């Protein structure tokens, strides 16, 4: 059982929901990232999503866009993000960390090298926003070979085919985008959210977050 799966199993046994906060690595300052991660745990985080800053975060709204811009302006790279996780692991070996970002930095490093580096740093899961699950069987296999959960996005607009593909290769949890548009939007439609959950449950029993 992966560390992420263990967290969700523990929450389920207690009939509790999990708290999974997101923070962009390097914002407001690269030297504060690890301290922020520890503060999130003290504040009740069950899992941490650490954002890898990217110059064109197409799925993100203005808040995260500006956060990425500030981090990139200070020279934050994917390797530094992995270093943040490694530093975090010196004091915390139990809280799962998911790297969340876009394909370009991972492609530049190469899937195999990235998987090995992420494993060595203590990363537990990887969510690449612009990797469609129907094209990522090999990527998911590469991650799992290093003990890392490949996490994929689904949304109220996802087709049954995409749901099926995600369910076949995802581990840890399914990241369910609960609104249309970019992150931070205020157009949540609870009927949209509720309508797709049964379709996801037909395909997989892994947690939906």
For the annotated catalytic residues, the residue numbers are 49, 60
Name the token pair of 130. Answer: 């612009």
- Chain position carrying tokens 């003990």: 147
Q: State how far the Cα of 53 lies from the Cα of 64, in Å rounded to an integer.
A: 9
For residues 99 and 126, the answer to whether their CB atoms sit within 8 Å is yes
* Helical residues (DSSP H) of the chain, grouped into ranges: 3-13, 33-42, 62-73, 78-89, 103-109, 111-121, 137-145, 160-169, 190-203
For residues 81 and 52, the answer to whether their CB atoms sit within 8 Å is yes
């Amino acid at each position: 059982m992966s560390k992420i799966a263990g967290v969700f199993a523990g929450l389920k046994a207690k009939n509790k929901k999990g708290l999974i906060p997101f923070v962009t690595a390097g914002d407001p300052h690269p030297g504060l990232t690890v301290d922020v991660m520890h503060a999130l745990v003290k504040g009740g985080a069950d899992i941490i999503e650490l954002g890898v800053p990217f110059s064109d975060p197409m799925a993100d709204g203005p808040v995260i866009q500006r956060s990425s811009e500030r981090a990139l302006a200070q020279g934050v790279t994917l390797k530094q993000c992995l270093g943040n996780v490694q530093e975090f692991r010196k004091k915390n070996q139990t809280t799962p960390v998911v790297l969340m970002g876009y394909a370009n930095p991972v492609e530049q490093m190469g899937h195999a090298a990235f998987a090995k580096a992420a494993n060595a740093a203590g990363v537990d899961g990887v969510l690449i926003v612009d990797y469609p699950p129907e094209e990522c069987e090999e990527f998911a296999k590469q991650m799992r070979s290093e003990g890392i959960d490949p996490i994929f996005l689904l949304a109220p607009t996802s087709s049954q085919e995409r749901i099926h593909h995600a369910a076949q290769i995802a581990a840890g949890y399914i990241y369910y985008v609960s609104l249309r548009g970019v992150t931070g939007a205020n157009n949540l439609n609870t009927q949209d959210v509720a309508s797709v959950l049964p379709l996801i449950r037909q395909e997989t029993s892994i947690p939906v977050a």
